[in-house]
Chains A and B, each alone.
Chain A
């Protein structure tokens, strides 16, 4: 099973709302990622969690707040977003083991629209 699930599939929120994106994997992977993808562009890394600890934050604005409650779950909390934050938000996971190939498996994404 190489499945990464994300909920919701679509989300429309106003600039004053607070919402959360959720990601789950049951492959025993120890590294999890959030990417942002604008239309016709490659994914851009936002955050990396390795063994449930935040290891990379790519200078993402504080209106995006990640959380890794356990090794299977990754959340992205959203607050006071701007219309330019509208994008496809992709979650990914990888084994995170030095003896394994670091292939990343992606979820289907959450299509976020900020109005």
Chain B
């Protein structure tokens, strides 16, 4: 079956790097995503990675994918207080209209 697991909480100091981890079970997943949700707001697509890639970098964000272990991580460099939010890992398949399967979300708390 399909399942996405994340640790629930992460606390870091401003300026440090944050690493949020995710594991998934469906080896046929084609795309993997990271979404950010600030309090009272909708979800913001941060970045995504194709399953045939190992790494993707986008400014302060680095996504690492280990297909063998079905492990996905999101690294945020120079974490700021504005990065405090819930981060959801999600997966989907290469078919039109197929919905996202979300992890439970990791709450990132950044202290100054």
Contacts of B44 in A (CB 8 A): 106
Residue in A31, A43, A90, A109 whose Cβ sees the most chain B Cβ within 10 Å: A43
CA distance A104 to B34 in the complex (A): 11
B21-35: CB near A (< 8 Å → 1, else 0) gives: 000000000010101
CA distance A6 to B41 in the complex (A): 12
Are A50 and B99 closer than 8 Å at their CB atoms? no
Scan residues 73-93 of chain B and give those whose CB is less than 8 A from a CB of chain A. Answer: 88, 92
Are B41 and A108 closer than 8 Å at their CB atoms? yes
Number of B residues with CB within 8 Å of any CB on chain A: 24
Number of A-B contacts (CB under 8 A): 65
CA distance A93 to B94 in the complex (A): 15
Pick from B41, B48, B88, B97: contact of A56, CB under 8 Å: B97
Say yes or no: A45-B41 contact (C-beta < 8 A), given A98-B94, A103-B33.
Answer: no
Are A104 and B100 closer than 8 Å at their CB atoms? yes
Query: Would you call B71 an interface residue if the criterion is a C-beta within 8 Å of the partner chain's C-beta atoms?
Result: no
A78-112: CB near B (< 8 Å → 1, else 0) gives: 00000000000010100011100111111111010
Query: Would you call A62 an interface residue if the criterion is a C-beta within 8 Å of the partner chain's C-beta atoms?
Result: no
Query: Would you call A17 an interface residue if the criterion is a C-beta within 8 Å of the partner chain's C-beta atoms?
Result: no
Residues of A within 8 A of B (CB): 4, 6, 30-31, 33, 40-43, 45, 48-50, 55-56, 90, 92, 96-98, 101-109, 111
Besides A43-B102, A98-B95, 15 other A-B contacts (C-beta < 8 A): A30-B96, A33-B99, A41-B104, A42-B105, A43-B43, A45-B100, A48-B97, A56-B99, A96-B96, A97-B96, A101-B31, A102-B92, A103-B45, A104-B99, A104-B100
Residues of B within 8 A of A (CB): 31, 33, 35, 40-45, 48, 50, 88, 92, 94-100, 102-105
